[in-house]
Structure formats: structure tokens, C-alpha cells
Copies of this chain bind each other. A is one copy, B any other.
Amino acid sequence: MNQYNVAVAGATGAVGTEFIRLLEEREFPLGSLRLLASSRSAGKQITFRKEKLTVEEMTHDSFQGCDIAFFSAGGARSKEFAPSAVKSGAVVIDNSSAFRMEPEIPLVVPGINDNDLHDHKGIIANPNCSTIIMLMPLAPLNRLSPVRRVIVSTYQAASGAGALAMQELIDQTRRSLQGDVLDPKVFPHPIAFNLFSHNSKVDEDGYNEEERKMIQESRKILHNPILRISPTCIRVPVLRAHSESLNVEFEHRPSLESVYHALQNAPGVVIVDDRTGNRFPMPIEASGRDEVLVGRIRHDLSNENAIDLFVCGDQILKGAALNGFQIAETLIRRGLLENWKRHHELSVAFHSH
């Protein structure tokens, strides 16, 4: 069996750390592993399978001999370094928003639109965390009966803003309990015992960037450019699992049985819907889990063609690192990584003549 050399760009961040943990703990045909970060983090040591690896500063030459590069170092660094990685022959799986809406770059949630991977040209984009978690139940339901319109309100964890934001939630909550003045640094507003509208730029029609991502990325992934979605993205004092309240309107009224059946058979989705025990998806139960939890499944009393759902998913796992990892697994399983290597070698041979 082939082995693949992997680079993790942004190795010291919340998502980078999770990529490393996935490579360590799961079955993966790993050759070498190279950990890359900014000069600030270079020199740090990270233990991987009992071996100490040193974090290197990312340069344009960092990707020599690399087959897969997981990028999670912010959009600016992806734009700067991903093309170099591709030139070196690697396939880049990019967790930033830098390339997601580029028409020629696949934006993929494994299990939903794997076939889009076949058109890749070296870079594959990992969708926004809120988009992925929403689509996990939405895509199988859209196959059951075409979705017309989605109203979604999110309850987003601190992790979506990175490891420092998670630390800010913890530290600020501790200070708040001591009666100290809250002093936000990472977030623009206090997060301890508070919540606020997502801190991304608000455009002139009143939606913020996070909401716009949910609309545009969902349309691209579901291949439905006219899908109507109205998201409201809210940050809540939760550590690492996003929740979303979904109202989904279909072309035709689906039976509740068919909705249950579609969700039960959807890979990566687990139904948590115990009406008698009042047990539904909760962030603390979704945290650390691969699957997205779905519950509160019911017909909407206000529209006979709509259903309501409540969803929780680990923002760092399926919302980010796990989805990227599954993209790599799908590329390998479908022979697309081998194709890319062959393509690259031919291209190098051609250009050297």
C-alpha cells in the first residue's frame, strides 16, 4: 500500500492540533509528517507517536516531497503558500475561506459531494464549519425531497475563532465569577455568560460574512445556485461544538417517517431525539464526536411543507479538521492522489525537456 507524506500548515492552531491528533490516532497511510507554522511558533516541539517533531517555519520550499498539505493558517497564508505546495506536487486541503468560492476549486463535504473532487487542480477547499454542520442533515433531506428554503439560527462555540478564543472564554468566565471587570481581547465583546452576533463584517444588506458563507457555500456544495437560505449567526459561551436551529421548507411535505429514515441512513449523522426523556442534541455531547447530532425533528406547525430540526456538531472535528481529513481519505480511496502524483511527474518531465 502506498504511503503519503503529509504537511500540516498552521500546526499549532486549534484545527492544526486536531489534524495532528487525527493522523496520530486514526488509520492513515502516513509516510512522513512535517509541521509548519509562522516564525513565531517555529522551533516548538510536538510529540507525535512518541517522537518529538519540531515545528518549522513555513516557506515556499516547505512542501518538497509532500503529497498532502492540510492548511489551517488563515486565508492570507493559504493564498501565499498553497500555490507553492501545489507546484511542489502536493494536493492542498485548505481550511480557510481563501479559495472556497473559486469556481474551479472543489468545495467538499465527504458523503455529500465527493464527485466534485474529481475536478480538482491541486487545491480543495474545506467548507465553513457552520455550513458543514448544517449540510450534514440538510443534504440527505434534500435528496429525499428538494429543499426550497432554510431559516437557520446558529449557536456558535468559541473554537470557531481559534484556540485563543477558547482560552478567552475560560479565562474571562473565571474572572467574571470573581467579580472582575471583563476585558475582551480576542472577541470584540465579552463572551462570559453572554452571546453576540457573529463578529464578522456586516455588509450593506445587513448579513455578516459568516452568514454569507453559509448561503454561498451551501449553494455550491448542493449544486443549487438558487437555494434560499436566511442565516443568523450568533456566538455563544460554549467551547467547541456549534448548534443550529433549522427550519427547512421542501417542495412537498415529507412524512416524518421519511425524514427519520433519511437521517438514520445518512453517514456521519446520529439522531438524538428522545421526546419523553427530553434529551436532544447538546454541545457537550457533540464535543469530541465525529458525528453531527440531530434532534427536535418535527413538522413545522406554521407551514405544512416545512420541518424543524436542532443540530449540534463538533466545530473542530466535522466542522474543520475531520472534514479535511475525510477529504484526504476520499482522495486516496478514489485513486485521485495517485493520479495527481502521476500528473505532476509528467508535467515536471515535460517542462524539464
Binding site for B on A (CB under 8 A): 149-151, 153, 155, 169-170, 173-174, 177, 188-190, 193-197, 199, 201-202, 205-208, 215, 228-230, 232, 234, 236-239, 243, 245, 247, 275-276, 278-280, 282-284, 295-303, 306, 308, 310
Contact = CB atoms under 8 A, between A and B. Distances in A.
Nearest to A198: B278
Given A302-B151, A302-B229, A202 B236 contact: no
Nearest to A171: B177
B301 A197 contact: no
A207 B153 contact: no
Contacts of A236: 155, 195, 236-237
B202 A275 contact: yes
Contact of A302 (B230, B234, B279): B230
A230 B190 CA distance: 30
The dominant DSSP class at the A interface is mixed
Contacts of A228: 301-303
Contacts of A194: 238, 282-284
Given A151-B151, A151-B247, A310-B197, A278 B202 contact: yes
B230 A306 contact: yes
A197 B26 CA distance: 33
A193 B232 contact: no
Contacts of A199: 278
Contacts of A149: 302-303
A278 B202 CA distance: 7
Contacts of A284: 190, 193-194
Smallest CB-CB A-B distances: 9 pairs: A206-B298, A228-B302, A153-B245, A153-B153, A202-B275, A230-B302, A197-B280, A194-B284, A232-B245
10 contacts: A150-B302, A153-B153, A173-B193, A195-B238, A195-B243, A206-B297, A206-B298, A228-B303, A230-B301, A236-B236
A115 B228 CA distance: 40
B151 A205 contact: no
Given A174-B177, A302-B228, A237 B237 contact: yes
A170 B179 CA distance: 12
